[in-house]
Structure 1
Amino acid sequence: MALPAAAQQISSEATEEIRPDEIITVVAHRQARAVSEVAGTVSVISDAELERDLVFNASDLIRYEMGVELDDSSNRFGYSGFRIRGVGGNRTAVVVDQVAIADRFAVGSFSDTGRGLLDLGLANRVEILRGPASTLYGSDALGGVVAVHTLVAEDVLTTPQHGTRVRLGFGSDADRAYGRVATALSSGQHSFLLAGAASSRAESEAQGLTEAERDPQDIEQTGALLKWQYASTYGELQLSFDALREERETQVRHSLGSGRQASTTALRGDDERYEWRSILSFNSSATQFYDRGEWRVFFQQSQTRQDSYEERGRLAQPLSIYRGFRYDYSNYGLAADLEYDTVFAGLQQRIGYGFEWSQAEVWDERDAWQFNQSTQESTKTLLGETFPLRDFPRSEISELGLYLHDEIRLWQGGPTLSPGVRYEYYDLATQQDSLFQSRYPDTEVTDLTHTAWLPKLGLLWPVSTNAEWFAQYARGYRAPPFADVNVGLYYPQFRVLAIANPDLKPERGYTFETGLRWRSIDTQLSATLYHNRFSDFIDSRAAQGFDPQRQLLIFQSVNRDQVIIEGVELRWQQQWHPNWASEFWLDYSDGEDRATGQSLPSLSPPSLLADVTYQASSGDWETRLILRAQKGQKQLYDADNAPLFAAPGYATLDWLVQWFPSHQLQLGAGVFNLTDRRYWSTAQVGNYPQDDPILPLMAAPGRHVRATLNYRF
């Protein structure tokens, strides 16, 4: 169908505005935009940058991203999610091909699902949107969005008909080996992609520790991606399937003989996570209702199995203890992102609208037994808990989001105003669960329904042809998680009971952000200021005091007061000479918990990155020297006013080299932490006591090397 003349003119002008050398982002508007058109802060990490930075996993991905960190506070269970401007965990959305992945769930010391992050070898681009983004992404986007885009056939094809890419890698920091093969075929209107990746690694090195002092680990990960695309006059149809399996075997040594494990002589973990996802999407040609549109149907499932085996050999009667944890999450839904170019009231506009409906089912189960080696007796009751049991009743979560946003150009060459709003519906329904009811007969459960209106307003003002000023206000939202609304916790031995909270409020965020971007042929500058206010943060299973009627100590998830986070980000990229370039990036943030008046352990101290690059005139090799530095963490305290570990400041150097012997072959190598400095990531250790035995293991690796090979044919 032909577009109206006005719409054709707008579409043509929009295409002309995106210069060939500009970076394109999708995450900010759910439609393609040049970064210069976005009233906000977005990082786009391309496939070339993934190879250039020697990226193997999620921690490598954000190594050179200021203001973004990885939640990884355990040496056993893996990543918990991304932390953006001090807000992390389940409060930051992670989406793969526009489909949000499962949240993390953790209970106790032996059960933690982490968050399944697709093997980055199967990705061709990652985008990071900073700040609350619930207007477009709904619940869980309180802190921002990390969007992973997987490979498509076009990324792999070296001729019009076929292509293959091979990537191999090695890292000495964890005896890491990595391999990926992707092949693509194209014939007429059809194209196919098949990709597989595998990696193996041991425990990460920690500067200052010998191999005998670390917790031995053996981690195996495999991933697969399959895509079929069909191009027709009506649009492009794509069917994709990806799967990831991770197995971890860990011998926990660091905590033996101390604290709760004072009598423990051996502790081993055997963990496995499996997830898969299928997406059917249709990128539609223009219709009378929209000019650009994507429709998608998706289904995904993740399963976690974690087994712990403990020997308490220091007791008068030695014990063998087994703990098992199972977690299952399945999710399906339907969504559409549509966009229409029009002229209304004499103003050029791009109207975006869409919806996302999803339904998820989730359950967990913990099992355990204890064997007395002296009496040869066994029991399934530990610390007053009788197993098996659930930590929450089987639950079903339904969500519906409807959004509308507009980009209104007030006059030709002038500012663009971007209002938007989302209606969010969230429903948590508990299912009939005989196991939960039998274990917690006195625990009341509740269903929960919430609705919210989530507005945003952006302004983008071109100062000149090479510069723009932007400002935006946005509201974030996170619905109460199922495990906080209904909890199963009853220790009769200690007279402890957790109760549901039907009045639990959603967490909310409010952000104001403003910045200036300027660029020329050789220079790019940007400065951003932001002020984030969060309210009703959920404190999980908080102590509520002693109930004289029940004669029990009551725990309940409750809302807490406001949290304020403010910061500034400065970035300068300069091409000094055809062979020499540099980058300087400064990140400063500060925050306060208004309830306690204390600084936030989730915020990192001021940090900077400086990168100097030399590229040979021949273009067949380049070398980079990268400085990363961070100020020491402020002294922090726990709820009992006991001091927490404060990570000291550090400065470390990385040296990276890329060599292109031919158009088909690329070799990369790097030496990381050249100065062999001992340091910690504040995102990993911010909540640990000063004397926690895990702290030495959480130190970053000392000097180590990494090498990659990329071959296309």
Structure 2
Amino acid sequence: MSPAPLRVALALGTSLLALDAAQAQATNTRPIGTQRDVARRNAPVEEVSLDTLSVTATKTERAAIDALSGSSVVTREAIDRLQPSRLSEVLRDVPGVTTQGSQSDPAQAINIRGLQDFGRVNVLIDGARQDFQTSGHSANGVFYLDPELVGGVDITRGPSATIYGSGAIGGVVAFRTRSIDDILAPDERAGIVQTQGFGSNGQRFLNSTAIGARIGTAADVFGQFVFRNNGPYQDGLGRRIADTGNELSAGLAKINLRPADGHEISGTALLQRFDFTNSGTTNRGARFANAVQTDTYTLGYRFARPDVPLLDVSIRGYSTTTQNDLTFLQDSQRGTYGTLGVRAGNRITYDLETLGFDVHNTARFDTWALAHALTIGGDYVGNRVRTTDKAGGFGAAFTPSGERSLAGAFVQDEIRYSTWLRVVGALRYDHYDLSGGAYRSSGDRLSPKITVGVSPFPGFEVYGTYAEGYRAPSITETLMQGIHPFPAFSIRPNPALRPETAHTVEGGVNLKYNDVLKPGDVFRAKLNVFQNTVDDFIGIQPVGSTYFVPAVVGIPASVCARIPGRFPCVIPQRDVQYLNIARAELDGVELEGAYDWGGGFVTVAATHTDGRNRATRETLISVPPNRVSATIGLRFLNGNLTLASRLTFVEARTGLPSGVTLSPTKAYGLVDLMATYVVNDHVKADFVLQNALDKRYTQYLNALPSPGLTAKAAISIKFATH
């Protein structure tokens, strides 16, 4: 969909808001957003995300604190408090999770426990897999999603979540888009939430209109329109970082039908259009205008009823299409594209289509003293990559066209004995096929998992897990072939790549206590220790003998066959190729905790990860530095006013392997200040000062410095009817 229709839809949604708001003023209304009950605003449970339901670990709902895995949840309340323009601002508080991206591109990649790119982390939006990727000097595997559209995030770290799809040896991050329950209380029939935000340092304007209605208990509908406009920002030294602005137009529609007791049919359509201009990840390359259209459609059916314990059936099909149209604007100082005859207006198109489905059933039954939740299911995902390049040919060479299919089946039994013992056993079968040009590859494998959890006394549970995961090579890793623009070295394809196999040993402790220091308080904490060994880890490596290439753009590399080592052929190079490293090792510790006493709350998240090539002992460049974050909040005025501060400390990242183009990063500390004020039952205001001390810093794996001091304010107005 082009920007014009989306803007028309936005305007229409805003007009409907005004009309319905006028009608709703005469009716009985309820508090705004998630502040649904004034009498419960001091309830600490609203701030403890570990009590929120998670499904990514086992596909069966349970609170994150009760999951026998490194599972975390980000709630909509936390997102509202931070007012993020990128999801990286939210995921900073999740242990074991970091992000990589370019500040000049709203796309992001997620790193879990030092693993990212090419599907090592399975990113889902409403259950639909996100596999978009273009090769460059940044992440290889990104997704587009504006945080204003997100209702919550469910995360499980490690391959213990491979029941959620092939390749997730790093983990699973499942985004839930907003729905009717995010704006209406259970006894409300229809309503609208209008949010507008403003800010400094490039944060220009945000408009979000969310509208929903319930048709008795038989159906509900929900729609949201979002427009965001960001400009270039300044870093902590006041330096303007060019081409860091973007514009978003998005629409979200959902419908749920309940034709009979226990039956539910659901459909979702999410359309996003991002427009931005950049000069590559470092702002020193050729300049292109980018128009990204990403559409996700899902259709699902579920049957679940307490009186039919053997049936809890879920069927979901989905389609995801991401297309990036790049229009060449001007060359870099080197003039690389101009020497190839590329002119302004020439275009490159990256297009990835994903079709998939997931079906499973959970049967609950008892055998003697054992309670079972037996889940059996299967999933499929097919990727089709099409690259059209009329601007130099580099895009088509480094993001090759091709097709890949991933199919799997799994069985899992969650067994409980009394109140002190839980055992989870699972087995997954994976198969893949990949093709492109003259190359084909395929493979399959069985991956087991076993988890034992013991709770010797209430509130304390310790667990241990052994799990394996299987990741097939991606289209790019297998088929990428061409000449690098400058310096002109060759990149070779490798159809003989073997899939990666992860072997993870993990132990953890879950703590869950109430009434610790005063009546009504809540304490939750999770501690995880893990070691993940990845056989046949895939990385790009130099191969072949050294040769010389021209130091001047435009001179053919063939010239250097006659005068190697003499000007202009003075740059030594080797070909590169994706290869299987014999074994990669990653280990670490993760801590997440929260204490809430009604009048305030404290949350803490800490991460330590190490990773290395076992043969060379060199550090894996994808391993992020150690990080600790803490949020401290106080509630005033009967809970109507919440003041909070987030502190983040990140260790320096040095000692990078020789030959890599990444730069080391210095240690830094950040302070964010936040305030939320519920004016009345209809109006809520949020204020944020990000990087309040105006520090200049660069996040590891990113090429550009992050924003300096940034102020944001948003006001939300809600009207609802019974």
User: Scaled by the length of structure 1, what TM-score is found?
Assistant: 0.82
* Superposed counterparts of 1:3-402, under 5 Å: 22-72=51-101, 74-90=102-118, 91-107=120-136, 115-133=142-160, 135-158=162-185, 160-188=188-216, 189-211=218-240, 214-233=241-260, 235-250=263-278, 267-286=286-305, 290-311=310-331, 321-322=342-343, 324-344=347-367, 346-368=369-391, 391=398, 394-402=401-409
After superposition, the Cα gap between the structure-2 partners of 1:605 and 1:580, relative to the gap in structure 1 and judged at 3 Å, is same
What is the alpha-carbon distance in structure 2 between the residues aligned to residue 673 and residue 494 of structure 1? 38
Question: In the aligned structure 2, how far is the partner of 1:313 from the partner of 1:610?
Answer: 44
CA distance in 2, matches of 1:538, 1:136: 22
- Structure 1: which 5+ residue stretches go unaligned? 1-18, 262-266, 370-384, 432-444, 686-697
Q: CA deviation at 1:155?
A: 2.6
Candidates 701, 708, 720, aligned match of 1:683: 701
1:519 equivalent in structure 2 = 512
Q: Report if the CA contact (8 A) 1:141-1:476 is conserved.
A: yes
SS in 1 for 2:706: coil
CA separation of 1:334 and 1:250: change in aligned 2, threshold 3 A: closer
Letter in structure 1 aligned against 2:530: Y
In the alignment, is the contact (CA less than 8 A) between 1:134 and 1:475 conserved in 2?
no
The reply on whether 1:463 has 2:456 as its aligned counterpart is yes
Does residue 662 in structure 1 map to residue 652 in structure 2?
A: no
Q: Distance in 1 between matches of 2:476 and 2:334?
A: 35
Name the CA distance, whole Å, in 1 between partners of 2:282 and 2:63: 49
Distance 1:350 1:252 in 2: 49
Please give the secondary structure, in 2, of the residue aligned with 1:200. Answer: strand
Question: Which residue of the partner structure matches residue 652 of structure 1?
Answer: 670
Q: Using the TM superposition, give the Cα deviation of residue 461 of structure 1 relative to its aligned residue in structure 2, in angstroms.
A: 1.4
Whole-Å separation in 2 of the counterparts to 1:495 and 1:520 = 61
1:539 to partner: Cα distance: 2.3
Matched with 1:570 is: 591
SS in 2 for 1:77: coil
**1:537-570 alpha-carbon deviations (Å, 9 max, x no partner):** 22247433379xx999754321112222211123
Residue 603 (structure 2) aligned to one of 583, 586, 604: 583
Q: Contact (CA 8 Å) 1:487, 1:499: kept in 2 or not?
A: yes
Change in 2 beyond 3 A, CA 1:671/1:407: same
CA distance in 2, matches of 1:494, 1:69: 31
Give the letter aligned to residue 201 of structure 2. Answer: D
Structural mapping, 1:484-563, within 5 Å = 484-489=477-482, 498-521=491-514, 522=521, 523-540=523-540, 542-545=542-545, 555-563=576-584
- Check whether the contact 1:416–1:459 (CA below 8 A) recurs between aligned residues: yes
Specify the SS of the correspondent of 1:89. Answer: coil
**SS of match in other structure, 1:368:** coil
State the alpha-carbon separation in 2 of the partners of residues 297 and 255 from structure 1: 39
Structure 2 contact 122–165 (Cα < 8 Å) conserved: no
1:48 alignment partner AA: E
| Alignment length (residue pairs) | 633
Structure 1 residue 587, shift from structure 2 partner: 2.0
The answer to whether the 8 A contact 1:43-1:128 is kept is: yes
Supply the distance in 2 between the matched residues of 1:633 and 1:648 (Cα, whole angstroms).
7
Q: Do the aligned residues in 2 keep the contact of 1:310 with 1:321 (CA within 8 Å)?
A: no
Other structure's SS at 1:103 match = coil
Equivalent position SS for 1:57: coil
Query: Residue 598 in 1 paired to residue 591 in 2?
Result: no
Pick from 618, 629, 632: which aligns with 2:652?
Answer: 632
Counterparts of 2:269 and 2:432, CA distance in 1: 28
Residue type matched to 1:588 in 2?
H
Measured after TM superposition, the shift of residue 77 of structure 1 is 3.4
Measure, in 2, the Cα distance between the counterparts of 1:108 and 1:219: 20
Structure 2 vs 1, CA of residues 356 and 483 (structure 1 numbering), >3 Å: closer, same or farther? same
* Structure 2 contact 122–172 (Cα < 8 Å) conserved: yes
Q: CA deviation at 1:456?
A: 1.0
The alignment's C-alpha RMSD in Å is: 3.1
1:429 paired to 2:435: yes
Q: Equivalent residue of 1:677, what SS?
A: coil
SS at match of 2:657: coil
Counterpart residue number, 2:706: 700
1:554 and 1:654 map into 2 onto residues whose CA distance is 45
1:419 equivalent in alignment to 2:425? yes
Distance 1:335 1:606, change over 3 A: closer
Q: Point out the more displaced range, 644-653 or 505-514.
A: 644-653
Identity %: 21
Deviation (angstroms), 1:654:
1.4
Cα distance in structure 2, aligned partners of 1:388 and 1:525: 46
Maintained 8 Å contact 1:635/1:645: no
- Report deviation, 1:345: 5.2
Match of 1:404 among 411, 415, 430: 411
Deviation at 1:235, TM superposition (A): 0.3
Q: Which amino acid aligns with 2:403?
A: E
TM-superposed CA distance for 1:313, in Å, is 7.7
Code of the residue aligned with 2:292 in structure 1: it is: R
Query: SS of the counterpart of 1:461?
Result: strand
Q: Which segment is superposed worse, 215-224 or 398-407? A: 215-224
Gaps of 5+ in 2: 1-44, 515-520, 548-557, 562-572
Distance change (3 Å), C-alpha of 1:25 and 1:169 = same
Aligned twin of 1:452: 445
Give the SS at the match of 1:584.
strand
Q: Is the alpha carbon distance of 1:450 and 1:312 closer, same or farther for their aligned partners in structure 2, counting shifts above 3 Å?
A: closer
Q: In structure 1, the residue corresponding to 2:89 is in which secondary structure?
A: helix
Tell me: higher relative CO, structure 1 or 2? Use CA pairs within 8 A at least 6 residues apart.
2
CA 106–33 in structure 1, closer or farther in 2 if over 3 Å, else same: same
Q: 1:580 to 1:334 in 2, by over 3 A?
A: closer
Find the aligned partners of 1:498 and 1:628 in 2 and give their Cα distance. Answer: 39
> Which residue identity is paired with 1:589?
T
- Correspondence for 1:480: 473
Q: 1:569 to 1:255 in 2, by over 3 A?
A: closer
Provide, for residues 241-294 of structure 1, a one-character-per-residue CA deviation record: whole Å limited to 9, x for no partner. 1111111123679766xxxx7xxxxx5320111111211101114597942121
- TM-score, normalization by structure 2: 0.81
Contact 2:58/2:161 (8 A) holds in 1: no
Specify whether residues 291 and 172 from structure 1 end up closer, same or farther in structure 2 by C-alpha distance, changes over 3 A only: same
Amino acid at match of 2:616: T
Is the Cα–Cα contact under 8 Å of residues 439 and 479 in structure 2 kept in the other structure?
yes
Q: 1:596 to 1:310 in 2, by over 3 A?
A: farther
Letter in 2 for 1:533: T
